[in-house]
Structure 1
């Protein structure tokens, strides 16, 4: 099925891929995907200087973690072009805008369409391929529709128990082309499963490309279609291209390179060592995280709910932060692993009443959500700076971004594998207190029920 395979091919010198992650958990997901394939990689938390880059002389893929998933199109217009320009200047043939594998986005927040328009303006090219399916994560795209596996059952995206009622970007459409069309006027096309199976994918790709640089979705449902997606992108990269994709892009490229013998056969990642205790903050509303939180409680973790009305209040915020930190430090002193959380699943009254709580504090929903993230970030910062723990975790994409911005860390690389999409990372910092800190940034949908104890080991 894979047409155009080249014998004796070799990967070019220099960087193979540069990417911007639309949130921090997705950024480490992408970092894991390409690192586990055997491609040395690093994720920067701010635009890297030459001095920063010099610490990673063997890196063949470079990422930059961002927060655009929770931002407006106006914010993107201002912030993304200079970041895309800096990444493009690194010279990698593919510039990747990493999106969530559940396609979290809307016209007014986290607009993937707006990011594509800005990225294509930077890179040009005859097409902008899009790979969203990630079989390893239980994400499958068939005839343009996205399906997601959760708790052993595979759902069409618009019927998924979490994503169909996501508090910020509810997904009411599984057809990704239709969903994306609300975010951009760019031509959107599809290379579907039937065309791939019939060996017509290259001909379809040739017919679709044009000066208007269309977005071209590529169906991925298994290893064979993943390899073909990687082949289409790599062999049709031209002088460079822009791709808004999930970590499926990294998995696809690696699968194709592996099929050519250019990468080792599934080298994988080391197993994480155990530690006595960890500290966790969670801003996730996902039922996956809720189940993990409940399991952690039964496994001996100390769980502490954040009082949202106090966290959002200018008067009571500092006292609430101090209370949560004191509780966490007491748990650590007793050998327990603390979890400070803002909600326990989408049916939590704190979620249902969040708009009202925000209104009392005089905040919009978006500003209130960001405030919760900054409170969790300050709690984590104080815990880390106490020196009481050297492995921490953040649950929730937006929360991860706020926490990482509060810590004195400039880059991450991979230490070990845990659950797919949520690896154990190592921090790089000029501050000895943070340098070498181990972190897990877990998206709401990631990890098995016993994931919190797995992180501790």
Structure 2
């Protein structure tokens, strides 16, 4: 471990955090993702399993996107305080490339204000666009492409009607302005056509005393490079706070490389697997299509009764039912999918919510028990590769398996890579785990995860 690492980050949700680790690693920067903030001593002895190398960047998978403002004010300071003890050139508060947030939940503005107390900076670069993920920012407005069509975010079929943080404003300056009183400036696409002009213009914007947030447009990777050059040129040598999607890492990747990590890359060849276990806690349309495609390809699909799973009176019985059925399928050489819902319109979603509300049971109980089911399966049947769909589910499943860190093994789909797990439980140490958010990956994603290893070029 170097005396000063290149970058540390905190991801505001679990699967989005793997996105940053992937971007760093593919840029040639060895990185790891931890579930809790590591200490300086822990980082000194940490080694990547696949390459036996030290890391030059690290992050922590968080859940602040689902937190209320009061919860953020209670929990983020302790995390930031620990991360601030590790010297780095940059600290990245990672947000979703669809900017999920509101003044009441997952407030990015409040996170910026809290982060500045621990990572003092003269300005805060904000880079949300990530062309690799089909996210674009033009004249301050955020766009996302889905199913071959690009939508302004306030007209996006999913994000505009998101149940927790509906996006009713695509201009990120106006959207963020509801969450913080800081001035919000813009470096637009026209300015980005010249790297020198972008640097000069940005320097002018940050001359104010009240630490401004400076939003960068980006329509393509060349724009990202210019953004990275401007941000790096204005780095004073002190740690710089940056907020944004994994576009930050794609922008800074080449600039962050040093002699200490030159030539680093992930292995060309990885072991194949005979079977894969999928745990799907996501009810997104994308995950629905992935489940349906996998069923057509011969996967055994087992629906979990979520209400029974969450209720303490019936949990053990439902865990046993699902595990028994899954174990039988595995022993008959079937790939399996354990899923909680088939798309956002599955009738069981509203039924389960009503039951949980009436009994005062937290929905988090479902994720925890899905972790218990997988642990039981893996203890009784060896499988080297697992897929977990759903950000909250990924966190609970990982903790159930004693996993404390991940490293990139192979890219599968942007933002949803195959990882190698570091676990305190020997049986799960080295387990191959693919973590994906609901909207990541094409219809063949589960199949691609299973087939990864035959030829990485075939699955990218």
291-300 or 175-184, which moves further after superposition?
175-184
Aligned to 2:215: 217
Q: 1:331 to 1:53 in 2, by over 3 A?
A: farther
Give distance in 2, aligned partners of 1:206 and 1:235: 10
Aligned to 1:297: 295
Runs of 5+ consecutive residues of structure 1 not aligned to the other structure: 1-11
Aligned to 1:422: 416
Secondary structure of 1:76's partner? Answer: helix
Aligned to 2:252: 253
1:404 aligns with 2:417: no
Q: 1:48 to 1:262 in 2, by over 3 A?
A: closer
1:150 aligns with 2:146: yes
12-21 or 327-336, which moves further after superposition?
12-21
Deviation at 1:437, TM superposition (A): 0.5
1:41 aligns with 2:37: no
Give distance in 1, aligned partners of 2:326 and 2:134: 34
Aligned to 2:200: 203
1:166 aligns with 2:162: yes
Give distance in 2, aligned partners of 1:426 and 1:377: 17
Q: CA RMSD, aligned part only?
A: 2.3
Deviations along 1:173-231, one digit per CA (max 9) or x if unpaired, are 21122222222222222111122225532232122213321111111111211001111
Deviations along 1:246-295, one digit per CA (max 9) or x if unpaired, are 1111111014558x999879967746543111111111121111110110
Q: 1:379 aligns with which of 373, 376, 383?
A: 373
Deviations along 1:303-334, one digit per CA (max 9) or x if unpaired, are 11121221232322222222122222111111
Aligned to 2:183: 187
Deviation at 1:358, TM superposition (A): 2.8
Secondary structure of 2:9's partner? Answer: strand
Give distance in 1, aligned partners of 2:261 and 2:382: 40
Deviations along 1:387-421, one digit per CA (max 9) or x if unpaired, are 42121111011111122222212211111111111
Name segments (4+ residues, structure 1) moved above 6 Å. 260-269
Aligned to 1:435: 429
Q: 2:4 aligns with which of 4, 14, 38?
A: 14
Q: 1:378 to 1:193 in 2, by over 3 A?
A: same
267-276 or 177-186, which moves further after superposition?
267-276
Aligned to 2:457: none
Give distance in 2, aligned partners of 1:21 and 1:386: 33
Aligned to 1:3: none
Aligned to 2:458: none
Give distance in 1, aligned partners of 2:245 and 2:212: 18
1:450 aligns with 2:449: no
Q: 2:349 aligns with which of 348, 351, 358?
A: 351
Are 1:228 and 1:256, in contact at CA under 8 Å, matched by a contact in 2? Answer: no
Aligned to 1:244: 243
Aligned to 2:63: 67
Deviation at 1:60, TM superposition (A): 0.9
Are 2:30 and 2:261, in contact at CA under 8 Å, matched by a contact in 1? Answer: no
Are 2:266 and 2:410, in contact at CA under 8 Å, matched by a contact in 1? Answer: no
Please list, as runs of the form range in 1=range in 2, the aligned pairs for 1:67-106 lying within 5 A after superposition: 67-106=63-102
Aligned to 1:7: none
Aligned to 1:288: 286
Q: How many residues align?
A: 441
Deviation at 1:52, TM superposition (A): 4.9
Q: TM-score, length-normalised on structure 1?
A: 0.91
Q: TM-score, length-normalised on structure 2?
A: 0.90
Q: 1:220 to 1:429 in 2, by over 3 A?
A: same
